[in-house]
Amino acid sequence: MTEMNLRDALSKGLREALDTNENVFLMGEDIGIYGGPYAVTKGLFEDYGSEKIIDTPISESGFVGAGIGSSMVGMKPIIEIMTINFSLLAIDQIVNHAAKMHYMSDGQLSVPIIIRTVTGAGGRLAATHSQSFEGWYASVPGLIVVAPSNPSDALGLLRASINDNNPIIFAEHSMLYGVTGDVPDQYYETPIGLPKIIEEGNDLTIIAWSGMIPVAQEVSSKLKDKKLQTEIVDLRTLNPIDFELIFNSVKKTNKVVILDEYWETGSFGAYICSVIQENCFDYLDAPIAVVNSLNIPMPYSADLEDEVIPNTKRVLMKIDELLGL
């Protein structure tokens, strides 16, 4: 095992891909000479050159479209969009072309592109730079959506994504790059679509992903003071999802709280809630709770932003209400 942070785990995966697959290249804004807005691609330009690490103009629709086209003719582009907010400028390319090309060509064409992008709030970057759209993309048939919360899963899911032949949105939370953890030295891949229990318990299931995992862990720690053992399920991928592990956890604990950084209206967490409700109704001892960001544009103020994002205090209040504590 080697301890590393999530940023370094991703960089390791990118280097592996460049070293072992001649069709891999990276493209995006400031990923080359500058070293990447979040330093994930730092040093790659010097080691691999301008033909493999391509700095682009500020034109998301243009370079995402170019990446889609190149993937259709045999290349394996890994595109970096500076933040998921900017992916809206390429949403036609992503949703109407990358996601649908395989289906509309009757399987004759594939789009094996990886779009790495940064999601989430907490960085005091205000309303247009702090949104969490991975749930949007997870609702689109044809797109795989990955959202790791720790270095081991980040590397394992990146490796699996590189070996996958489908278009993939690889969402990296802006506040998790410095999170450290043990990463196996031997080669491994993390299965796409398979959630993971990261903490076992019998009293309550908390389902979360990406930037909400640290909140879930802090909530679990606080609940131990009340003699409650929480089971935390990290989705890891939003599309596809193998629900069997989730159903088994719900059947064991009989109570569920879902943490989702998206707004309350139309959240991906509400979708997870509906699937559990339909399949585990007889096992539930209380209504399923979903804790989201409040339905307002994200404030710039640190104090206000901390209140809008799902936080430990709000989650604990919801759990107290749920359990009648």
What six digits make up the tokens of 30? 């400031």
The HSE-up count of residue 58 (CA atoms within 13 Å, CB side) is 2
Whether 51 is catalytic is no
Rounded to the nearest 10 degrees, how much is the dihedral formed by the CA atoms of 298, 299, 303, 309?
-10
Alpha helices by DSSP H, 92-205? 101-104, 134-138, 151-162
Q: What is the DSSP letter of 129?
A: S
User: Angle at Cα 243 formed by Cα 238 and Cα 245, nearest 5°?
Assistant: 115
Which amino acid type is present at position 272? I
Q: Which of 97, 102, 129, 173 is catalytic?
A: 129
Q: Which of 29, 60, 231, 305 is catalytic?
A: 60
User: Angle at Cα 290 formed by Cα 289 and Cα 295, nearest 5°?
Assistant: 135
DSSP-assigned beta bridge partners for residue 173: 119
Whether 129 is catalytic is yes
Q: How many residues does the chain have?
A: 325
DSSP-assigned beta bridge partners for residue 23: none
Contact 71, 77 (CB under 8 A): yes
**Catalytic positions, written as ranges:** 60, 129
